[in-house]
Amino acid sequence: MRWLNYHHLLYFWTVAREGSIAKACGVLHLTQPTVSAQLKALEKSVRMPLFERRGRNLTLTDAGTKVYRYADEIFALGRELEDVVRGRPAGGALRLVVGVADTLPKLVVHRLLRPALHIGEEVRVSCVDGPPDRLLAQLALHELDIVLSDSPANPQIGLRVFNHLLGESSITFFGTADLVKQYRRGFPESLDNAPFLMPMGNTVLGRSLEQWFDDNGIRLHVRGEFADSALIKVFGSEGEGIFAAPTVVEEDVERAYRVGIIGRAESLRERFYAISIQKRLQHPAVVAISKAAKTSLAAP
């Protein structure tokens, strides 16, 4: 089988596109003798001349025109292949498919993903919400680029994934103006028997809160349990009870849900992870997320 030397084809394609060997040398960062030798090697391989000289200019022969058309398609496909491998749709924006654990506060998700949209090139972010275990299975099948979660991947699931700690935050307790007036003074003891909106007990924050209340001898009047962190805030904004959220987004919570701060629990910590199948983060948008997290997850 005869093999086509794609380096020779690239040099030919560049000369044809630039219109002269001298200009092509500037693009390729090669000397004229080198490029000329490569062109002769390609012509020898295809057994026909590809250029003819007219004065000081090189013009394509009929055979050269046909080879150039094929070369143009070949290198266009090569660029598309590179884009697809790097997560960028052919001829389009860089694509980032993110799995978002349904236990992760949506305001934190926005805080984490925002840097990915400002990396100096167009990025299209697709978010898939769901239980962490299901998202990790999709990650293992390369259906996702990254999973954002408030807990590291469980090693017992048997998947080879890597946990990248992005940051952590203390916890702030929020309520409407009436609840703030009633329960801010004497915090945290003031929370004893207070109406509370809790995350589900099987969530990281839910378990942490239960332990914290127990350690501080605080009994709660639980008015509702929610799997969706955004739904807790909606009920909280209507005065149905006190709720908790990460301190790093407390200004966003106050503004979006018209609530105030009752108190902060510095010993209560919520951590945020990016989980990937690579030991070292590679996707440009994910790298941007990781680098910016040190600032974006800093408490106000």
pLDDT single digits (tens) 131-183: 888 898 888 888 888 999 999 987 766 677 889 999 999 999 999 999 999 99
Strands 195-199 and 146-149, by their bridges, are unpaired
- Strand, coil or helix: 194: coil
Determine which of 56-60, 108-112, 139-143 has the lowest per-residue pLDDT on average. Answer: 56-60
Q: Are 164 and 243 in contact (CB under 8 A)?
A: no
The yes-or-no verdict on residue 92 having pLDDT over 70 is no
Predicted pLDDT of residue 299? 58
Confidence of residue 254 (pLDDT cuts 50, 70, 90): very high
- Cα dist from 294 to 15, 107, 151, 157, 178, whole Å: 48, 16, 18, 29, 35
The yes-or-no verdict on residue 213 having pLDDT over 90 is yes
The yes-or-no verdict on residue 89 having pLDDT over 80 is no
Q: Does domain 170-269 have CATH number 3.40.930.10?
A: no
In terms of CATH architecture, what is 94-167+272-296? 3-Layer(aba) Sandwich (3.40)
- 134: which 2 tokens? 């299901």
Q: Is 81 exposed, middle or buried (0-12, 13-18, 19+ CB in 10 A)?
A: exposed
Predicted pLDDT of residue 266? 93
State the fold for domain 6-85.
Arc Repressor Mutant, subunit A (1.10.10)
Q: Which of 107, 162, 59, 115 is nearest to 291 (CA)?
A: 115
Q: What percent of the chain has pLDDT over 70?
A: 92
Task: Let me know if the fold of 94-167+272-296 is the same as that of 170-269.
Answer: yes
pLDDT single digits (tens) 181-192: 999 999 999 999
The yes-or-no verdict on residue 88 having pLDDT over 80 is no
How is the chain split into domains, by residue range? 6-85, 94-167+272-296, 170-269
pLDDT single digits (tens) 274-289: 998 888 887 888 888 8
Tally the residues of the chain.
300
Give the mean pLDDT of the chain: 86
Q: Which of 205, 247, 256, 208 is nearest to 226 (CA)?
A: 205
Predicted pLDDT of residue 1? 37
What is the DSSP annotation of 217-255?
Answer: T---EEEEEES-HHHHHHHHHTTS-BEEEEGGGHHHHHH
Strands 260-276 and 162-175, by their bridges, are antiparallel
Q: Are 148 and 260 in contact (CB under 8 A)?
A: no
Q: Compute the average pLDDT of residues 87-98.
A: 70
How would you classify residue 193: left for phi > 0, otherwise alpha for psi between -120 and 50, otherwise beta? Answer: left
Task: Identify which of 7-16, 30-39, 51-60, 210-219 has the greatest average pLDDT.
Answer: 210-219
